Structures are given as structure tokens and as C-alpha cells.
């Protein structure tokens, strides 16, 4: 009986931790928590390579005075675009589609970024780590 009770308690703890971990990847939480995050354009412009394989790369390119495009790797449809404000961009961007394909950039350090790809009705994100070209 004691072993059964400990197993049940362990399962409840695991379920609670799982729900917390999943909530951190929920796209609504990701988008909301990065609404006011800006990244300096100089920290982002250029080529970045996937940490998994050198053949997968992205490149951030200034597109006039109002946006920065992400070229290369495209999970989803179309080109991802990020709104530009002076010398920085918004961390949340999107690609044209309905429902929209969204992407949130997290700058880890000057050589590492994490891109979180998700769709409007999705419950999870697809996280990809990229390293700056050396």
C-alpha cells in the first residue's frame, strides 16, 4: 500500500512538472512574454548555421527601414519578417499565411540564437538553435 501511494504521488508530481514545462513552450506564452523584446540589428544581421548541421542556415537581411527578413531555412510558408524600429527589431516575427506562421528569436549570446517556430492554433513550438558564422 505504501509503495502504491508513493507511486501515485510520484506520478502526480511528474504530471505537474510536465504541465509547467509544456506551458513554457506554449506559443501564446512565448509571444506574450516577448512582446516588448527588441534585438539590436547589428547583433543579428548576417548568416547563422543550425547547431545540428552546417547545411541548414539562415540569414537576416535588412529590408528597407521597416523590417528585417530571415532568408534560408523556412519551416512553414514564405519568408519570415521582423518589424524594425530604428536600430533594433522586434523578437516576434511572422510569415504570411492563415493561420500565421510565427517565429520568436531569443539571443542567447553574441554567437547563439534560439528560434521558436509555431503556428497560431498550435500548442507547442519547434525550437532550433543557430550559431553565428565564424
Higher-scoring residue by pLDDT: 75, 34: 34
At 2 the three-state DSSP class reads helix
CA 119 to chain centre: 11
Residue 37, pLDDT score: 94
Neighbour count for residue 42 (Cβ, 10 Å): 9
Percent of the chain surpassing pLDDT 90: 43
Residue 19 reports pLDDT greater than 60: no
Q: Is the pTM here over 0.85, yes or no?
A: no
* Tens-digit pLDDT profile for residues 66-106: 999 999 877 666 789 999 999 999 999 998 887 778 999 99
- Lowest mean pLDDT of 3-7, 17-21, 58-62, name the range: 17-21
Instruction: Report the mean per-residue pLDDT for the chain.
Output: 80
Select from 68, 76, 9 the least CA-distant residue to 40.
68
**DSSP string of 8-77, one letter each residue:** HHHHHHHHHHHHHHHHHT-HHHHHHHTTT-EEEHHHH-EEEEESS-TT-EEEEEEETTTEEEEEE--SSS
CATH, range 2-132: 2.40.128
CA 35 to chain centre: 13
Select from 56, 86, 54, 52 the least CA-distant residue to 70.
56
Amino acid at each position: 500500500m505504501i509503495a502504491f501511494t508513493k507511486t501515485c504521488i510520484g506520478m502526480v508530481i511528474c504530471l505537474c512538472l510536465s504541465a509547467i514545462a509544456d506551458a513554457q513552450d506554449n506559443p501564446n506564452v512565448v509571444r506574450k512574454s516577448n512582446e516588448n523584446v527588441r534585438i539590436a540589428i547589428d547583433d543579428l544581421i548576417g548568416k547563422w548555421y543550425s547547431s545540428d548541421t552546417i547545411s541548414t542556415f539562415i540569414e537576416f537581411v535588412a529590408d528597407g527601414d521597416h523590417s528585417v527578413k530571415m532568408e534560408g531555412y523556412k519551416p512553414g510558408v514564405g519568408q519570415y519578417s521582423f518589424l524594425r524600429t530604428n536600430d533594433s527589431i522586434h523578437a516576434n516575427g511572422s510569415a504570411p499565411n492563415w493561420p500565421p506562421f510565427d517565429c520568436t528569436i531569443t539571443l542567447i549570446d553574441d554567437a547563439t540564437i534560439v528560434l521558436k517556430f509555431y503556428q497560431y492554433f498550435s500548442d507547442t513550438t519547434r525550437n532550433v538553435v543557430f550559431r553565428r558564422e565564424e
